[in-house]
Structure 1
Amino acid sequence: MLEDHTAPAARLPVQQTSPQPDPRLVPGGPAAAPPAEAAWPESYPEGYAVVDVETTGLAPGDRIVSAAVYRLTARGEVEDHWYTLVNPERDPGPTWLHGLTAEMLADAPVFAEVAGEFAARLAGRVLVAHNAVFDWTMIAREYARASRTAPVEQRLCTILLAKALGLPLPNHKLESLAAYFGVEQRRAHHALDDARVLAEAFRPSLHRAARQRLPLPLLVCRPITEWSDAPPSGGGRTARWGGWRQPKRRPACPYPNPGRFEAGGRLRQGMRVAFSGDTSVDRELLEDQAFEAGLHVASSVSRLTSLLVTNYPEAATGKVTRARELGTPILDEAAFTQLLRDVAPADPGPAGRGAAAAPPVREV
């Protein structure tokens, strides 16, 4: 089940999707590597682990069914790659997406059996993934289940990097990033091929960032130290479809909306808070903390939104764009987390009486 290619490799060639060379990849093109004599940014990491995992679903209880890692040098050169199937010890989820059936995974190793080799591939490197918060969260949960900690301190999301570079993409799907750099996708949603595609697209992205002296969007990876697969108490129900669970839904906030956040002021119970982009803390955990403090966690930005939390206020995401159109205040994660420590109680005025007295109810 394990596929290991450890022989040193030359730079992974960029594959063209048409007979004509892509002008972005020829010498002097916008994505071309800087000259050999150009100084490489000293702040850039010493190595990267480009990762892709396929899973049984998106919820906290879902499992990894396959994983792949391409190890790259400081300048994005491929060192080796590794791939494994993983027995999720449950149904495989959306087989129509990743193509892995229960029969195919029956004899695969469980995660605890590959955790050591996986860790060796990640150690001392920045984890790179497309929508990195998802891959990192799934990996961290698997290590927590195995009573271990993944040796990853930082991650880099290629969606955030593409946005920071201002790449003219129609959207931020992996296929769009691949097409921009002329990389051929052979098997979408196959962990090994997705990791290969991302490795090929990451190198010119990295060199373009270096040429522009652009700080890389590195985020801290905080490991999960405890885990339990036991169902929560309280009789809560989770929507299911063949093991494919819907994202978490929370009950309505019991407090009235006091309006927009004011710079220099405090957060107040009832404020509507939206989140955009990758966060150093698991997004669901951050949203839980906001909800438990009495804030309304919103899935979109509207005229009623009190503030938007994002680490990339210049990114052209839908939420950031909408917030700027409406004049919605924007805070980064660090500032929001600091304010979350001292949330003011709900306004006890006429609209808030009764509702303000009830503590927020956490969904179970």
Structure 2
Amino acid sequence: MYAVIDVETTGLLSKDRIVEIAVAQLDEDGLVTATWETLVNPRRDLGPQELHGVRAADVRKAPTFDRVAGDVVELLRGRVPVAHNLAFDGRLLAHEYLRMGCEIPDLTHFGVCTMQWAGHFLPDAGRSLADCCLAGGIANDRPHEAMSDVLATAELFALYLNSMGPVPVWEGRGLGLDEMHWPPVPARSTPAVRRGAGAGDGGEFLARLVDHLPRVPDPPQADMYLALLDRALVDRHISATEADALVDLASGLGIGRTAALGLHRGYLRSLAAAADGAVSAAERDDLARVAGLLSLPADAVDDALNADEPPPVRPGRGFRLTRGDTAVLTGAFAESKSFWAARLEAAGLHVAATVTKKTSLVVAADPDSMSGKASKARQYGIPVIGADAVDTVLARMAPA
């Protein structure tokens, strides 16, 4: 009878993209009979992540909208669409189909907006979903998660249904399921991806390598792997994107888990040797942090510091910023881009608007950002770090 929908998006404009969608099917009494949800890969920056909370690490594994478009049509077909602010959800949904060359029915004409009807059923409440839920005694523990908002809206809609007679007050106001013509988009039964899908990525990448391969790689294979590892560790964090790149490169170079562990130990010894003398508590903590990211045991730091022989891998310069280097910002930051630009400029960096081969660093609102700037930086081998790692990187800047 009804289908309640909610979308989380990269922004409020028609050019913005859906990053999460949820649908709950309801019977004529407003009882939930089925639910469906998935993250959607927008292939761009995720926008206000502090609002919707969707991580790029999760969305990278999610289907693009065209892969779920047919499934969404089947969930909505033959049902009255319901949403809180149906104009917004319907507009963003319509533009996703327009990008595919398809046109869907005007949901605001055929559907029910619980926000618009709030003044009739909850006259003393505000119009936001949070205000309506508060007035109706409805729990919504995870606002701005699509399924949580859908279930809260479904409960709100059921409250409306139970507050009137057998004939809905909106009967005859544009509703007409026989006039809703949905495009012939085939349903793919695409596997859904939910929040938390990327939670196990990052520092656990070593576990994804093959146990044994025929030989231990020598330079230049080892050098290529270590160069990528050095860029990944610039912020002392291995993002999901960096983990995937390390796994792909290791597999392509014939580096298995055992060989990688050997290279990791050598890399740690090269960092220890670069300390050149007495090691401060901060330097020891830094070595311990790197050892943990490289899946090395707790005693690996002592072994590296007490090694009598030179490190088996060339220590190299490693990545270090210097005053005058160029940094680029990308994404919707919780503070503002001007705030982070001022931080970087105060440290002596030049902040540019675009990424070129001369760019030294990209600071992203999310280290797994899929923005055009972040993608270009990765193509050029430029480190991409999250805003929360800026202090770590700046603290390791080379002296002027």
> TM-score when scaled to structure 1?
0.46
- Greater percentage in helix: 2
Q: Which has the larger radius of gyration?
A: 2
